[in-house]
Structure 1
Amino acid sequence: MSRNAPPVATRSAIALAGFPVVAGLQLAAVLLLLWAVLSVLPSAVALRAGVPLSIATVGALGYETWRALHTRRRTPAGVAVTRRQAPKLWELIDGAAAAAGVRPPDGVTVVADATAALGERTRVLGLIGGRRDLYLGLPLLQALPPARLRAVVAHELAHGSPKLGRWAPLAYRGRVAVGRMAPRLSRRNPAGAVLRAYARFYRRMDAPFSRAQELAADRIAADHAGVADAVAALRDLPALAGMQRLFHAEYVGPGWQAGYVPDDVFGGLLRVLAARSVEMSMLRAAEPAPSGPWDTHPPLAERVAALTPEPSPAASDTAPPSDAASAPEESPAEETVSEEKPAEPDEELVPDLPALGRALQAVAFPPRGRTVVSWDECLSFARTMEMEREAEAALAAISRASDAAVPDAAHLLTLVADGRLRAAAGAVFPDTSPEEITARIVDLLGLMLALAALRGGVARWRHSWTGAAEVVAVDGANLNLAELAAAAADPETAEAVRTYLTENGFDLAARADQRAAARARVLGGLVNLSADGTRTDLLITDLGLLLVPGLPRGRGVEAKRRLTRIAADGVPAGTEPPAEPDSDQEVRRFVPFADVAGVTVLPGRRKGWVLGLRDGGNLSLRPALDADELPGGWAAWDEAVTFLAGTR
């Protein structure tokens, strides 16, 4: 670090110590104002009003200030790994700690996310340190060779290195604590406005040292593990995180929502990493987006340029500079590193890593009533469930438009033969051209024929770790469902197609709504609403709304925890969700989007909504004064209102 780094670190530490000072001054100002008000009142009135006013002002503000400054760090779900269980991993960590000039962490926990972090149980916004635990993502142990993992661990431990200045450990602890505290400051917190303003001031004061500290930690990691491996690790971490997000969205998530869990989640991730090397290379070359306003890391290109050796003076004299040579990200050293692909670990840091993955899965992905199946079964059930949901929604719309029940492919073919399907589709999509209506009919028929083939046992899913799954014949041959659907869409050939499908084992009478109990995907949650005048909490899912009887006023934190737990357990779709085991009197209500005819927005300072139901009833919703949200709750609700107000 530069010579002026210690003063910068000292300034950052002093700014951190200002938080309790600002909080104390805020309390003192309120106390002084209260004393001034009471001093002008008659003695008898002041004595009677003093205690309740003190409780209502100083007491309430003091409690809210304590809540704001009392940061809680949630411990990630993981599996602790001791020195006896993984001596080589601990040897790597000890070496990284020695290189950083710090003591080894008190414990190591393997977690599910592709990340590495040093967690410390601090107090008073990091002013007082505590137990230090290193959290290592299992994907890092699976995908990174020891040299790159050594660089990752050295960087994390170097955040608390005294090599960066006497006050560097304190400054980093405080930065992490304030980064957790600031986003949690509610605008309804009377102590929040001043603390939020000071947090913004602190971030500006701390920014220079924060940047220098991250670059210095990169340098310590490069000195310990080598520049090439340190640069490769910088690129690998965001790439692995991106691949894990893709893996959960495309493979784990659909099965999870369908009520199934693969028996080897992390083994599937390893297969995706091996199969999608091209996507991995693209992610390694991309600049990751900042994780938030409190992200302490400089841009990746800047960090890589700081580690890449500059050309020697002799080389500079002999070769004229060019745009390609002057840009750090285009330098030969960096180009060589960026072309490297994640290598398999060349030594066993953790004995029996697959067993550790299964133990971690039991903690990070508890089934919670879901069925544990093989990967092939999980993906098959999930894709079929997605098709059934889509088919059920489409057939419900066709049934309403044709004023007749259309539960399966057989009834749909009857509508085609009678010429009524085109009229029904035109009613569902009134502003659509005839060509597009034909295309939509063919798509719906293709969907229903695929389900009929799967239900009849003449087709199966063929999955791929590199792309989308497809429906094929049992022997793997192509079914030509697109051609069959196009022929079935013609009223003149619909009956001939029906005969062909029946003779070949397609189950045309299989209903789209007869499926195993699925779980709706939770999009967000709101607490403390009024539903038809009753205090209610709300979960927004991809299939409908779950209304949960609310808790009394003053229990908002408990209500959010309860709603989070309900969302984690899953919301069964298509059936009435059961009541909580510990609450016999609680009755939840699930309102499918298919049962909502429209929505009306009520005017006023506090918006309200009236959902018109297809059975003729209404559901009125308004936020209470103490309404709050789970992360993304109001955004999910706005999207749901837009969807319900549109044509469906």
Structure 2
Amino acid sequence: MLAGFLAVAWLQVGVVLLAVLLVLEPLPGELALQVAVPLVIAVAGLLWWATVRALRLRHPVPAGVPVPRQHAPALWAMVDEAAAAAGVKPPAGVTIVAGASATVGQRLRLGGLAGGPRELYLGLPLLQAWDESRVRAVVAHELAHGSPALGGRFGPVARRGRLALGRIVPRIPRRSPAGPLLRAWARWYRAVDTPFSHAQELAADRVAAAFAGPHAAAAVLRDGPALEALQQLFHAEYLGPGWQTGLVPDDVFGGFLRVLAARGDDVAAFRAREPEAPGEWDPHPPLAQRLSALAEITPEGPEQPGKPAGELVPDLSGLGRALQAVAFPAGARTVVGWDEFFGAARLAEMEREADASLRALSRAAGTPVTGAAEVLDLAADGRLRKIAESVFDDLPADEVSGRVTELTALLLALAALHSGVARWRHSWSGTAELVAADGSYLELQAPAEAAGDPATVGQAREWLTSLGVDLSASASRQHAARVPVLGGVVGVQVDGARSDLLVLETGLLLVPALPRTRHHEARRRLTRLAGDGVRTDGSPAATATATLEKPGAGSRFVPFADVASASATRNGRRSWELNLRDGGTVSVRSTLDSEELPGGWAALDDAVAFLTRTR
């Protein structure tokens, strides 16, 4: 069936070429030659190119640290035993990776009909969180996928074929002329192969149970998704915010281990929630079916505790630091301890929130309002309340007062942090707390309430001065707030000029495009800019200037706060229109060679849809 899919793909190219030749046959020789070249290129050539693009298989290799046999003999001994239990040869290599999973990778050739050497990719979080029996179970299960004993002589080919089509079919463009027939064949392949794939997965579960014990095999099925969910939480709440500031913690995996120890309740909640349904091309049967099959061979009684899986490698913490160097390379980022990392992340979040509010106040006041000093000046003049009422015109009076106090407290906290009299005290299990530099309690709510009243704003200033707060202090340029990048597109037209575009959390960054002959460089340039970060004012972060060719020259930042209305149309090519509050417009239009960074089009659509709903 897999060979049939590939044959059908190329057969339709041959059929179209034959039809073109039959059309040209009645024509005189010279005329046929004049018509043949453009016709073959336009019809058969287009279909050939669409087929080549559809069938091209990439082999992504996760960043990791290869572990030779002599460096981890216990780990390799376990892998050899698992391979023997599964009836396959040991993998060509073992690589420790950052993800909380284990898989056997293999380069697919000839669309999956043939495969290259196999490599075991084992997640470091598994070695940190699990005991040895669970790791033995997951390794045996993954290796068993390549065993002819589980699905017959062609079992490994069938699995490679399903994996290959699972990569190929979703990448076929909707309007591709090669698409309809290939998708129809793929649906038939999936319908025929699904029962066989499910049986193969259940057989691999039995191999894991026989090798590591039924309790361990079942635990892997329950704990694997929970551990992946915890790692996602770790990246979103602990690692991601500080990474956006241009810093990197000195021990990423050590931090994950602390989260694992501190948030046991979250792990239990992740384990208890309903599993996601298998994907369209997922070869696994439903989790309940797999657990039920294992329960039939699981003896009664509790599971015996096993040795920590980390003992399979000589130096787990050293392996974590080596893996961090390749999975989370510092590059031009500054390596700091976790406390400073968390503090910079919270500070950047506060600055982004304050920046959006200050922009709104500046528009309403008709004059720049850049921080706590200007806000207290407006309060002393009695203008702050009126400006706030115009900004929050849809709120009742008591809620407007609450918003003013919240904003003032935020700005005073920023001033205290910038003055060095306050810091964030982080907790691995709870919320962070703003405290004085010596760790004592810091009172800012009372001066924030007093600062909102013209009669008491002077007292608030005196109070803050006694604490050592400089209301005019600003953030250092090195750790200035950076804005999360949601996506990007290379090679769009902006107001008729060719540009590259980044979609930020707070606006659009428009960068003059490189010439079309350097299109491949443009994607790398925009990827670097997104990775190095963009500040709240749209300027590239300090680290970006070392890696980009004049990144800020001619760039333009369009804050979403300055957009009065937005619309999206699709008539052939996609286009978006932003109408600004100052009367200007920004027109964005896709081109034939536009290319997105991951999530670029979706991010732009979502941003315009949000602006359309809220304006």
TM-score (norm 1): 0.87
Structure 2 residue aligned with 1:171: 158
Question: What's the offset of the Cα at 1:141?
Answer: 1.2
Structure 1 residue aligned with 2:596: 629
Report if the CA contact (8 A) 2:450-2:457 is conserved. yes
Distance 1:237 1:557, change over 3 A: farther
Q: Which of 466, 471, 483 is equivalent to 1:503? A: 466
Question: What's the offset of the Cα at 1:465?
Answer: 0.8
Q: Which runs of 5+ in 2 are unaligned?
A: none
Alpha-carbon distance in 2 for matches of 1:389, 1:451 = 11
Structure 1 residue aligned with 2:191: 204
Report if the CA contact (8 A) 1:518-1:574 is conserved. no
Q: Which runs of 5+ in 1 are unaligned?
A: 1-14, 313-331
Question: What's the offset of the Cα at 1:584?
Answer: 6.4
Structure 1 residues 463-612: aligned runs within 5 Å? 463-511=426-474, 516-550=479-513, 560=523, 563-574=526-537, 576-577=539-540, 583=549, 587=553, 589-593=555-559, 596-601=562-567, 605=571, 606-612=573-579
Question: What's the offset of the Cα at 1:291?
Answer: 6.5
Q: Deviations over 1:377-398 (max 9, x none)?
A: 1111111111112112212211
Distance 1:414 1:240, change over 3 A: same
* Equivalent residue letter for 1:88: A
Report if the CA contact (8 A) 2:225-2:271 is conserved. yes
Distance 1:460 1:60, change over 3 A: same
Q: Which of 55, 68, 75 is equivalent to 1:69? A: 55
Q: Deviations over 1:469-494 (max 9, x none)?
A: 11012343332333432333333332
| 281-290 vs 360-369, which moves further | 281-290
Distance 1:494 1:643, change over 3 A: farther
Work out whether 1:399 is the aligned partner of 2:362.
yes
Distance 1:480 1:571, change over 3 A: closer
Q: Deviations over 1:603-622 (max 9, x none)?
A: 56145333345666443211
Alpha-carbon distance in 1 for matches of 2:506, 2:8 = 47
Question: What's the offset of the Cα at 1:641?
Answer: 1.8
Q: Deviations over 1:406-465 (max 9, x none)?
A: 222222123223332121111112111112211211111111121122223332211011
Structure 1 residues 292-371: aligned runs within 5 Å? 292-309=279-296, 345=308, 348-371=311-334
Question: What's the offset of the Cα at 1:30?
Answer: 0.3
Distance 1:486 1:573, change over 3 A: closer
Work out whether 1:111 is the aligned partner of 2:97.
yes
* Equivalent residue letter for 2:264: S
Report if the CA contact (8 A) 2:127-2:309 is conserved. no
Structure 2 residue aligned with 1:318: none
| 469-478 vs 439-448, which moves further | 469-478
Report if the CA contact (8 A) 1:593-1:644 is conserved. no
Report if the CA contact (8 A) 1:530-1:622 is conserved. yes
SS at match of 2:435: strand
Distance 1:571 1:40, change over 3 A: farther
Structure 2 residue aligned with 1:97: 83
Q: Which of 245, 252, 259 is equivalent to 1:265? A: 252
Distance 1:53 1:557, change over 3 A: farther
Structure 2 residue aligned with 1:431: 394
Question: What's the offset of the Cα at 1:61?
Answer: 2.2
Report if the CA contact (8 A) 1:142-1:270 is conserved. yes
Report if the CA contact (8 A) 2:93-2:119 is conserved. yes
| 567-576 vs 490-499, which moves further | 567-576
Distance 1:472 1:588, change over 3 A: same
| 365-374 vs 567-576, which moves further | 567-576
Structure 1 residue aligned with 2:132: 146
* Equivalent residue letter for 1:154: A
Alpha-carbon distance in 2 for matches of 1:395, 1:218 = 58
Work out whether 1:447 is the aligned partner of 2:418.
no
Question: What's the offset of the Cα at 1:582?
Answer: 7.3
Report if the CA contact (8 A) 2:10-2:51 is conserved. no
Structure 1 residue aligned with 2:373: 410
Alpha-carbon distance in 1 for matches of 2:298, 2:237 = 44
Question: What's the offset of the Cα at 1:561?
Answer: 5.4
Distance 1:347 1:370, change over 3 A: closer
Distance 1:515 1:584, change over 3 A: closer
Structure 2 residue aligned with 1:123: 109
* Equivalent residue letter for 2:236: A
| 362-371 vs 254-263, which moves further | 362-371
| 127-136 vs 588-597, which moves further | 588-597
Alpha-carbon distance in 2 for matches of 1:93, 1:249 = 33
Report if the CA contact (8 A) 2:482-2:534 is conserved. yes
* Equivalent residue letter for 2:249: P
Q: Deviations over 1:90-115 (max 9, x none)?
A: 11111111111000100111111111
Identity level (%): 56
SS at match of 2:109: coil
Structure 2 residue aligned with 1:328: none
Distance 1:445 1:539, change over 3 A: same
Q: Deviations over 1:508-548 (max 9, x none)?
A: 22247967344432101223321121222222111332323
Report if the CA contact (8 A) 2:356-2:561 is conserved. no
Structure 2 residue aligned with 1:135: 121
Q: Which of 234, 240, 262 is equivalent to 1:247? A: 234
Question: What's the offset of the Cα at 1:583?
Answer: 4.9
Distance 1:387 1:62, change over 3 A: same
Q: Which of 39, 42, 45 is equivalent to 1:53? A: 39
Alpha-carbon distance in 1 for matches of 2:101, 2:147 = 20
Work out whether 1:237 is the aligned partner of 2:263.
no
* Equivalent residue letter for 2:351: E
Question: What's the offset of the Cα at 1:139?
Answer: 0.6
Structure 2 residue aligned with 1:9: none
Report if the CA contact (8 A) 2:128-2:309 is conserved. no
Structure 2 residue aligned with 1:379: 342
Report if the CA contact (8 A) 1:385-1:515 is conserved. no
Report if the CA contact (8 A) 2:87-2:149 is conserved. yes
